[in-house]
Amino acid sequence: MKKLIKPAKLSPGDKVATVSLSWGGAGDETINWRYAQGKERLERLFGLEVAEMPHTLASPGFVYDHPEARAADLMAAFADPSIKAVFSCIGGDDTIRLLPYIDFDVIRNNPKILMGYSDTTVNHFMCYKAGLSSIYGPAILSDFAENVQMPQYTVDWTKKMLFSVESAGEIPSASVWTSQFLEWVVENKNIPRAFESNTPLELIQGSGKATGQLTGGCIDVIDWLRGTELFPAIEDFDGAILFFETSEEMMPPGNLLHILRALGAMGVLKRVNGIVFGKPYNNKYYDEYKPMIVKALAEFGRSELPVLYNLSFGHCEPKFCIPFGAVAEIDCERKSFSILESGVA
| Residues in contact with 12: Cβ distance below 8 Å, sequence separation at least 6, in sequence order | 46, 47, 48
Task: Give me the pLDDT at residue 17, please.
Answer: 99
Strands 176-177 and 196-197: antiparallel
CB-count exposure of residue 53 (10 Å: 0-12, 13-18, 19+) = buried
Confidence band, pLDDT 50/70/90 cuts, at residue 153: very high
Task: Give me the pLDDT at residue 145, please.
Answer: 98
| Residues in contact with 148: Cβ distance below 8 Å, sequence separation at least 6, in sequence order | 190, 191, 192
Task: Give me the pLDDT at residue 249, please.
Answer: 97
Asked if CATH classification 1.10.357.10 holds for the domain at 170-339, the reply, yes or no, is no
Task: Give me the pLDDT at residue 283, please.
Answer: 97
Separation CA 145–CA 124 (nearest Å): 22
Q: What is the pLDDT of residues 284-321, one digit of tens each?
A: 999 999 999 999 999 999 999 999 999 999 999 999 99
Domain boundaries, the chain: 15-165, 170-339
Q: What is the pLDDT of residues 236-275, one digit of tens each?
A: 999 999 999 999 999 999 999 999 999 999 999 999 999 9
Percent of the chain residues past pLDDT 70, beyond the cut = 100
Q: Which helix (H) or strand (E) holds 50?
A: strand 49-52
Confidence band, pLDDT 50/70/90 cuts, at residue 46: very high
Confidence band, pLDDT 50/70/90 cuts, at residue 322: very high
What helix, strand, coil percent values describe the chain, rounded to 5?
A: 35, 20, 45
Q: Which helix (H) or strand (E) holds 52?
A: strand 49-52
The alpha helices in 24-137, defined as continuous H runs, are 32-46, 60-65, 67-79, 104-109, 121-130
Average the pLDDT over 113-117 and give the result.
Answer: 99
Residue type, 240: A
Separation CA 22–CA 122 (nearest Å): 10
Q: What is the pLDDT of residues 47-97, one digit of tens each?
A: 999 999 999 999 999 999 999 999 999 999 999 999 999 999 999 999 999
Fold entry, domain 15-165: Rossmann fold (3.40.50)
Given a cut of 90, whether residue 133 has pLDDT beyond it is yes
Confidence band, pLDDT 50/70/90 cuts, at residue 1: confident
Q: Give the Å distances, CA to CA, from 110 to 103, 175, 182, 240.
A: 11, 38, 38, 26
| Cα angle 89-90-93, degrees, rounded to a multiple of 5 | 140
Residues in the chain: 345
Strands 49-52 and 176-177: unpaired
- Give me the sheet containing 336-339, strands edge to edge: 169-170, 336-339, 327-331, 209-218, 241-245, 274-278, 307-311, 202-205
